């Protein structure tokens, strides 16, 4: 059993009611087959290898002793604590599944949300660290010459790492041995450890890009006349970096106790961590590394006039971790995650391995030296598909729109897909390449980035990866193909808002039932407290409703935005409008509950209980709801199911939305408008 706490609750319920009422084991994507593709492997890792994730034996003993559950579902103390942990893991599994299917930033958002809630505390406190990355990229990067998405990119990198760990026994054993797990005997503990530290490494490796973007904007302005960056270029440099480089008094004391020595800055800590892992193999000293890291933000002219976002990612994550988790929570593995982030962009390539230098080039990184840094650099290079191009030059280049992976037999076979609409551009490039070959291969070969790096005989894409990480135990094969793009999965509508408002929108949606009639008096802070009191499953349900709201509004000729527009604001939904989107919301709710393992039934309403509170708790313990649907069903069956509901039940899908319109005004900026 992958979800053992759910199964334990099922046994308790069967004994209580003498019938099998659930909760039932959630279905794994691709159940019945051991797929080696990206989606199958990544989800199988979460579903099966992470059994028992974040379980607390202490809380389970306390529950057995007191007879009182400590887990939260819709409300606190409704379910066993470990059952809540199982449902949290299922939430992450389902959100990652949706993201791999769509690749859209809104689905990346809920993967971030789930991970932060599970491993960093509450999302609201860390939200700006993630949301600002997307906002800076989408709003500022169009001014750059070269720039592509790093928000969805990071979630793809996360998924790639899970798939490689799941399918590649060589890497899995290397990681387990490195961190003191006995391969084959501590699989679930090792997987839980990997998930937490790989998640920190991969999901946050690019959060420093908002610091690199303004640097590139200044250079881009002066590159308009094709001036080559270098001496004579105007550039930005950062100073007074204490807010990022200061360790903090409590953290400094904890680190001294942990490592047996003092550190005076985050840069010194990072240098120590890197030297400990790579110093002997690459003949680099802590002093050299610390000096190099410190000059990254202050003297970019020494590094080819490039700003290294990895410095800001590592130091920003350190400060966030210390603030949210506390100094005492920092471990040596956390330092490995931070140092992997520091290494991934340019430090390892150009200041340690010198991978493009004929005279100073050193061996590519082996996984056994630093497993997290190894995997990050490998996956960061592999993830080059389905990335929104913001920069002016980036939009004219030819990048893969999709990718298919086969991780079977310990290999990595990547098939990168290019848009068939670009066939003319590809044909012209291939003609130039053949002419270059027939002319004796004089000078450099023609290029059509990134197609040429994958398709040309030199296989520049693969050979560059081989210079960075050692692939002797991980054979990599690259193939390209073309097909017509299908952009329907992106579900793009006119509505749009910064992610800074998605959380606020969800908070207002949640409050529409509880505070109907109190919209003027209730505060935004109280709305957030009510939202925060729920489990991850219920929070995500509200957020996913927000993600679908653009579709609902599109169906009634409306849209939402956080920008001032010359359209009439919608102040209340009409009966005709709600009649359109209420069935759509019911369908979303039905599919969501089915995916999360809920079943149809009303036993919780018919058995004898000690009151309304216990009745709702029983519903959560069974994961049974009278409005759910069982069996296989499609859109037509859901529509019929909605029409069969009593009118007062149908109202629940639309009546409180007018209350939401009032509540959302408590959060700055976001409004709903009519198209005509």
pLDDT in tens, 34-81: 789 999 999 999 999 999 999 999 999 999 999 999 999 999 999 999
- pLDDT at residue 592 is higher than 90: yes
What does the buried/exposed string (b/e) look like for 112-137 if buried means 16 or more CB atoms within 10 Å of the residue's CB? bbbbbbbbbeebbebbebbbbbbbbb
**Per-residue pLDDT, 655:** 67
Contact 71, 82 (CB under 8 A): yes
pLDDT digits (tens, 9 = 90+) for 632-644: 899 999 999 999 9
For residue 499, is pLDDT > 60? no
User: What pLDDT sits at residue 491?
Assistant: 54
- Supply the pLDDT for residue 411: 94
The sign of the torsion formed by the CA atoms of 43, 44, 48, 49 equals negative
User: What's this model's pTM, rounded to 2 decimal places?
Assistant: 0.93
In this prediction, residue 225 carries a pLDDT of 55
pLDDT digits (tens, 9 = 90+) for 104-132: 888 998 999 999 999 987 765 566 666 66
Q: What is the spatial distance between Cα 4 and Cα 12, in angstroms, rounded to a whole number?
A: 12
580 versus 150: the higher-pLDDT residue is: 580
Is the pLDDT at 388 greater than 70? The verdict is no
What pLDDT score does 490 carry?
Answer: 53
* Of 329-343, 359-373, 545-559, 646-660, minimum mean pLDDT range: 646-660
pLDDT for the residue 391? 41
DSSP 318-350: HHHHHHHH-GGG--HHHHHHHHHHHIIIIIIII
- pLDDT at residue number 512: 75
Q: Which residue has the higher pLDDT, 509 or 583?
A: 583
pLDDT digits (tens, 9 = 90+) for 150-200: 788 999 999 999 999 999 999 999 999 999 999 888 999 999 999 999 999
In the chain, domain spans:
106-389, 403-487
d(CA 389, CA 123) in angstroms, rounded, equals 28
Say which DSSP state 272 is in.
H
> Of the candidates 135, 138, 106, which has an alpha carbon nearest to the alpha carbon of residue 390?
138
Highest mean pLDDT among 377-391, 410-424, 562-576: 410-424
User: Which range among 383-392, 405-414, 509-518, 653-662 shows the weakest confidence by mean pLDDT?
Assistant: 383-392
CB contact set of 613 (below 8 Å; sequence gap of 6+) = none
Q: What is the spatial distance between Cα 150 and Cα 101, in angstroms, rounded to a whole number?
A: 18
Residues 6+ apart with CB under 8 A from 333: 179, 193, 197
Give the pLDDT confidence of 603-620 residue by residue, as tens digits. 998 888 777 778 899 999
């Amino acid at each position: 059993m992958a979800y053992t706490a759910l199964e334990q609750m099922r046994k308790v319920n069967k004994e209580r009611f003498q019938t099998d009422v659930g909760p039932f084991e959630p279905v794994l994507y691709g159940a019945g087959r051991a797929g080696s593709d990206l989606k199958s492997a990544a989800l199988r890792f979460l579903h099966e290898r992470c059994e028992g994730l974040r379980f607390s034996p202490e809380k389970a003993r306390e529950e057995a002793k007191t007879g009182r559950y400590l887990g939260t579902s819709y409300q606190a103390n409704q379910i066993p604590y470990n059952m809540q942990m199982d449902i949290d893991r299922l939430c992450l599994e389902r959100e990652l599944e949706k993201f791999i299917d769509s690749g859209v930033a809104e689905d990346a958002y809920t993967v971030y949300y789930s991970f932060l809630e599970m491993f960093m505390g509450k999302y609201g406190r860390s939200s700006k660290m993630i949301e600002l990355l997307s906002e800076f990229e989408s709003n500022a990067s169009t001014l750059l010459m070269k720039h592509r998405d790093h928000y969805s990119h990071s979630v793809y990198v996360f998924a790639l790492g899970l798939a490689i760990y799941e399918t590649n026994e060589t890497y899995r054993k290397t990681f387990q041995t490195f961190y003191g797990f006995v391969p084959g005997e501590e699989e679930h503990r090792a997987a839980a450890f990997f998930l937490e530290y790989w998640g920190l490494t991969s999901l946050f490796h690019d959060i420093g890009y908002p610091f690199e973007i303004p640097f590139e904007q200044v250079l881009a302005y002066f590159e308009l006349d094709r001036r080559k960056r270098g001496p004579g270029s105007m550039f930005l440099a950062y100073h007074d970096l204490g807010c990022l480089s200061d360790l903090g008094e409590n953290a400094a004391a904890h680190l001294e106790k942990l490592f047996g020595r003092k550190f005076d800055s985050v840069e010194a800590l990072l240098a120590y961590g890197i030297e400990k892992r790579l110093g002997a193999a690459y003949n680099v000293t802590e002093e050299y590394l610390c000096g190099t890291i410190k000059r990254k933000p202050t003297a970019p002219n020494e590094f080819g006039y490039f700003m290294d976002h990895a410095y800001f990612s590592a130091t920003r994550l350190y400060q966030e971790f210390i603030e949210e988790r506390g100094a005492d929570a920092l471990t040596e593995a956390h330092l490995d995650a931070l140092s992997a982030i520091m290494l991934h962009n340019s430090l390892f390539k150009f200041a340690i391995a010198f991978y493009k230098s004929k005279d100073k080039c050193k061996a590519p990184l082996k996984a056994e030296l630093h497993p997290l840094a190894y995997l990050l650099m490998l996956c960061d290079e592999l993830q080059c598909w389905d990335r929104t191009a913001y920069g002016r030059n980036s939009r004219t280049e030819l990048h893969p729109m999709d990718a298919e992976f086969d991780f079977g037999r310990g290999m990595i076979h990547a098939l990168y897909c290019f848009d068939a609409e670009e066939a003319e551009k590809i044909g012209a490039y291939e003609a130039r390449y053949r002419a270059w070959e027939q002319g004796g291969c004089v000078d450099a070969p023609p290029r059509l980035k990134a197609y040429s790096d994958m398709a040309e005989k030199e296989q520049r894409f693969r050979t560059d990866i081989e210079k960075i990480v050692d692939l002797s135990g991980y054979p990599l094969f690259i193939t390209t193909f073309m097909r017509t793009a299908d952009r329907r999965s992106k579900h793009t509508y006119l509505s749009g808002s910064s992610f800074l408002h998605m959380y606020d929108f969800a908070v207002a949606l949640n409050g529409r039932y509880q505070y109907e009639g109190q919209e003027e008096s209730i505060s935004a802070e109280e709305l957030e407290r009510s939202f925060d009191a729920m489990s991850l499953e219920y929070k995500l349900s509200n957020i996913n409703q927000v993600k679908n709201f653009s579709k609902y509004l599109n169906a009634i000729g409306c849209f939402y935005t956080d920008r001032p527009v010359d359209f009439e604001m919608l102040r209340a939904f009409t009966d005709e409008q709600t009649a359109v989107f209420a069935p759509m919301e019911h369908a979303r709710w039905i599919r969501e509950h089915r995916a999360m393992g809920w079943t149809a039934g009303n036993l919780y309403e018919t058995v004898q209980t000690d009151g309304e509170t216990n009745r709702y708790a029983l519903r959560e313990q069974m994961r049974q709801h009278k409005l759910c649907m069982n069996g296989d069903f499609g859109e037509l069956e859901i529509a019929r199911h909605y029409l069969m509901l009593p009118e007062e039940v149908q109202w629940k899908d639309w009546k409180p939305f007018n209350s939401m319109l009032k509540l959302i005004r408590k959060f700055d900026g976001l409004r709903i408008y009519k198209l005509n």
